[in-house]
Amino acid sequence: MNFKNFFFKLLNLKKETKEELMKKFLIVGLGNIGDKYTNTRHNIGFKIVDEVAEEHNVTFETEKLGDVATFRFKGRTFILLKPSTYMNLSGKALKYWMQKEKIEIDNVLVVTDDLNIDFGTIRIKGKGSDGGHNGLKDIQEKLGTNKYPRFRFGVGANYSKGRQVDFVLGEWDKEETSQLIERLPTSAKVITSFGTAGLANTMNTFNGK
């Protein structure tokens, strides 16, 4: 093989590699590690990525800064991440895995709870403020931007003044637990839609549901 052919082959290889990278997606469910947090409202991000992993028959393995599971769907690679850094340092794990897997910010989806949305309601956006959410606040600080896709799952605001922390760190009540059985599969579809149909189509399909 002459040098010219080798050079063009190398260029094509790099192009293919770039195309493969564009088909990789990092899905980051926010939450706190430990049994006492498992069924709390603040851990809905963990619960949703757990649902996705179960539907695609993959298990999480403990890796650096989090538990990770990977699966392929319709030609895309989805990397599910549950940070082990606790909520307030979520950005550290997200940034590490973005860099490790060479995933662009547009291919990252952060899954989190939101007090400002009615229970069970889905809201997906491509950018926005942290809204007082410590996990989102740390992600924004670590990335240096608020322009990253996020999937907010409404947990409602059924708490008295001054009891916000107790509410988000409290466990789901019986009615919420029953309704989650229905809401989690829909939430899982948001994840795969994000990777296969794109952010805009996913917003149009699921926002407000």
Instruction: Convert the pLDDT of each residue in 169-197 to its tens digit.
Output: 999 999 999 999 999 999 999 999 999 99
All domains of the chain in start order, with CATH? 3-206 (3.40.50.1470)
Q: Is 32 annotated as a binding residue?
A: no
Q: Is 57 annotated as a binding residue?
A: no
pLDDT score, position 34: 95
When pLDDT is cut at 50, 70 and 90, the band that residue 16 belongs to is very low
Q: List the one residue out of 91, 96, 66, 61 whose CA is nearest residue 81.
A: 66
State the Cα–Cα distance between residues 56 and 67, nearest whole angstrom. Answer: 16
The distance of Cα 93 from the centroid of its chain, to the nearest Å, equals 12
pLDDT score, position 2: 52
For the cut 80, the answer to whether the pLDDT of residue 1 exceeds it is: no
| φ, ψ dihedrals at 159, nearest 5° | -145, 155
Q: Is 96 annotated as a binding residue?
A: no
Using an 8 Å Cβ cutoff, are 177 and 149 in contact?
A: no
State the Cα–Cα distance between residues 49 and 82, nearest whole angstrom. Answer: 8
For the cut 60, the answer to whether the pLDDT of residue 10 exceeds it is: no
For the cut 70, the answer to whether the pLDDT of residue 35 exceeds it is: yes
Active site residues: 42
Q: Model-level pTM? A: 0.89
Instruction: Convert the pLDDT of each residue in 106-155 to its tens digit.
Output: 999 999 999 999 999 999 999 999 988 999 999 999 999 999 999 999 99
